[in-house]
Chains A and B, each alone.
Chain A
């Protein structure tokens, strides 16, 4: 299993009240799976992604990526994991305003050693999201949808094994959404594992054999169970 969650739990405190965001989640994702987690906002989907991505620590339980428990390791390990193994797609565009599209794509390599090979890969990704002509454009010169596509392309920059996507097609038009989902399918066919949280039930339809899960009030359940 590439991702294993066991009795995973996370609670938040709001106005002195304990709010369970993720409650005893058990999840196993095999390499190459395309997992879609459906749920309304506030159901705990984003928190679950944060826990799996090593952005937040669990109150209980464990998360294993490639068999290693994230929280038994230090910041360096988790950061490297986020940089090399996992690609994040956020609910928002998440671009740095002073960097061009190309530079934003190269950002995961910025603290490494971006070179011409990486540059070519970045340009190829821009082409795949239909923005090859926007390599030198700054985020302020792009529409919201275009910014989102740049951010999606960036998630693939380091050729990750896992993509964690939070409402990846939220503000895209139908045509662009289809292009992005095609990109997801292509990458999935290459063996990239997808864990997508969304309230858009159409998202799974474009994939070959998606595994659909539901999340409600922090509890995860598999479709058909």
Chain B
């Protein structure tokens, strides 16, 4: 009984496939458009997942806690002597004073992230360079930049460049190293330099920094230590690594969600098209169904036939769309959607994304695409199954 049921459906599937192949143009067209819609949806999902994964990997190197002073709700610089007031908190492994700010390069129209660290900290930092070395102590003006910044500054073979200070005087720098592209999501627009050089560029007073980067001995204690810092320095904003991760996830998730909603319009259009195509049976198709009914095929059999046809189109499109989306994200860095997900900054990081695909993503894309398609073809399938054979013949 069971074998007969399986055999019956294998036969129906076999027939459905030959039927689809017979109308290559119509079904191929539908499958192509469907694949495109799935490709767009899946690209968004895969890219979001990959960005989150990449951000997670990069944030491993970020400080456990970042301290910024606020005045009137705005961030202001703070003296690096504040470190002393935190010395009594048990569990802090290291506190690094930083100058972290943005510098707008009018000439190139680019916004660079300037990161100034004490020379000792730079040497100890786990920074990956594609070539060169890190800035050294007592060698003012040495910087590490990303390949994107290098291209933006149009350095070519040169190693020196200048940036304007706020008083329009020029500060000179020498490139001694280039960041690896693996961390481009964070370092794509970064210029890393000695703390004093950053102070000089931003015209910060001696001993002033923009924030303090705190490392803790036990990451599980981060929130407790953050609370203690807050008690000692109530005028500071305290950002923990987990908060930053959460923010990344939220931002990418929100942008992806927004993009997906826009793509749902495309999906809706496709479903209408699928409905239309499934409803508009040609005379040849009607004649074929009539023949099948003459030969004793039941309404259920015709429904099963149409269902298998839809499943076949949906599966081929789903696999094709997913494969293209994976290739798009893995080999082309999701270039179609990175502007939406990362923002339209002038210096867009050249990403080396680790393609990350979860079962939940696949299920989501499946639910958004294949299920509506199958639903859209049910009623037309029923209408074709109840065709009155004698009126066709």
Contacts and interface: CB of A to CB of B under 8 A. Distances in A.
B301 A111 contact: yes
Contacts of B7: 112-113
A181 interface: no
A98 B390 contact: no
B335 interface: no
A79 interface: yes
B295 interface: yes
B296 A84 contact: yes
B254 interface: no
B297 to A, nearest CB: 6
B388 interface: yes
B390 A88 contact: no
Contacts of B3: 113
B11 A55 contact: no
Interface residues of A, number: 31
A113 B390 CA distance: 27
Nearest to B284: A97
Contact of A90 (B300, B301, B393): B393
A83 B21 contact: no
B358 interface: no
Contacts of A55: 293-294, 388-390
B139 interface: no
Contact of A110 (B4, B15, B300, B389): B15
Nearest to B388: A56
Given A90-B393, A94-B291, A113 B8 contact: yes
B111 interface: no
B22 A82 contact: no
Given A90-B393, A97-B22, A98-B22, A108 B295 contact: yes
Given A98-B18, A114-B11, A83 B390 contact: no
Interface in A43-99: 47, 50, 53, 55-56, 75-76, 79-84, 88, 90-92, 94, 96-99
Contact of A79 (B8, B22, B293, B388): B293
Contacts of A76: 298, 300
A107 interface: yes
B299 interface: yes
Contacts of B11: 110-114
A76 B7 CA distance: 19
B12 interface: yes
Nearest to B3: A113
Contacts of A81: 296
Interface string B351-393: 0000000000000000000000000000000000000111001
A98 B21 contact: yes
A47 B389 CA distance: 12
Contacts of A92: 393
B288 interface: yes
A78 to B, nearest CB: 9
Interface of A: 47, 50, 53, 55-56, 75-76, 79-84, 88, 90-92, 94, 96-99, 107-108, 110-114, 154, 158
15 contacts: A55-B389, A56-B390, A79-B296, A79-B297, A80-B296, A81-B296, A82-B295, A90-B294, A111-B8, A111-B301, A113-B7, A113-B8, A114-B11, A154-B295, A158-B296
Query: 10 closest pairs, A vs B, by CB?
Result: A83-B296, A82-B296, A79-B298, A50-B390, A113-B7, A55-B390, A56-B390, A98-B22, A108-B295, A98-B18
Given A56-B390, A84-B296, A112-B8, 14 more contacts: A55-B293, A55-B294, A79-B297, A79-B299, A81-B296, A82-B296, A83-B295, A88-B295, A91-B393, A96-B291, A98-B19, A110-B11, A113-B7, A154-B295
